[in-house]
Chain A
């Protein structure tokens, strides 16, 4: 029994290290969709992309049947003016983390095909330059500014 346990642990360790060695295993964390006012024509989604590998990758597209169109956007404030800039791709450098967050990078979700409210889930398919595809479940949440949580 004891031997069996050791063996299992050894196999698990091996598998974990194999996974860690595999390149371009982008990890998606903390995905969420910002709940929008009723009838709002656009929504935003946010998440953190982690690239533990040694090769750079790019997020090139996001698909979801709940919206007419999804774009990768950056909110830029230049000389006091906020602009939304559509990006063809979002680079994810090796051994780095790219955070999509309110006031910065976000997904712009055009024209929801069903009414989305807090508590519902949206399935996003992320496509990467490396060819990898990842499906993440993003819960719809009402946003808080964070100022009240400190």
Chain B
């Protein structure tokens, strides 16, 4: 009710105005509402693009608050090796990052690397391995896929035995990736995370298909994670004069560093070709990459090609080797010149021989790096279960999962880790529920549009307020809240050091750089308690006590201002039920 007051001034000037001291609590504006806001978190495009489905928006939020423990826990939830992935993953997350439409993508992998590194000194050992559940699995191969199987399986209570044909764990992480990209110390430190009494590594154990039946008797399930162990041959005359690229990388990583000088031909266009070329450069040779198509078609990742060319590697396009001849101390390689042909239905440019045009060039060595394939004994096309990152068939009534490079089309470390996670979840569902439930359960655990699945959702249930399948587009980000800030440039060693040593090229962010970069993240789709909704609510209907933000429906009139203002699309408007 309104009141009026009259104040007599000393000079008796009349002053009568309307004034009220009642509050507006009696005015329940909620009765006006026909739509209501709700906190509805969504999936960020980076998470959707991540093969492991890491909750990246949350990682960046914690990182920007210097809460490294929480950031690391978010990473370790889905990924056993953030310090490694922060270095070697080709970060599809950054290609999907919404920030690129404002200025530049967030340097997600540099932040992951920083948090992973923090973990090496603060949480090297994963301390939340649960009690064993009585079942035991066998893993063939201690590469990324096999290690991932062990990590996730142990977290579900399985005892694991890993059979590895070499004398050390890591697979290609150890033997294939040069140390200027992944230093040995980081690899070894991070593998400590699997140091657990119930994960047994059995080295120098080469397992063949014939032994699988025998092994089966000792395990509840087997996981084949042996990777593409065989290089693809050049199949040209004189190929015996060439060196195998993967073998070479392996030798370089071992203490038996070969001596290779002069101008070296590297045949191929994939990441192995780039790794070989950049390694040879550091050994004092002059590497030339010869590829039968053009740079545009090279399967190697673009920033790796850029780095190689910048360091001084030479690339020659449209040359396909047809013959290697030994002549004195030199190898003469004859190349067929290639030219663009038709474009395939898939849109890929084909290349065809350019008539009889050929060139011959002398080299001191020729390295073949045209790819690798699995051992023929693992080939199979009869599956009982076929998923995006693993396949399964029963051998002697026991489930055997094919994982990692044996099944994935994209042969990267991160996809191999994703494969291990998927296979373990599939096996766990099979064992505890039934094989028929696998697709349904995996769909429930899907991150964004998939195929990545979340171990977090599998073990802890659906995330509060989160719609996992809805992805935040840039249009839904309120970019008015984000001034343009270019990405923080990462520290690198000098060009000279690159050419003379195997020191790690990228030295990573310092803490300030990391926090600044993490603060650039929009935190798409998640509530980071920015409080914008509460500040803008014209009815003061948004309440925030401690960690709980809620809407007073007695007063919310459904104007939708909170949703319009939310900088990161963490709210939705829905029709009043």
- Is B truly associated with A? no
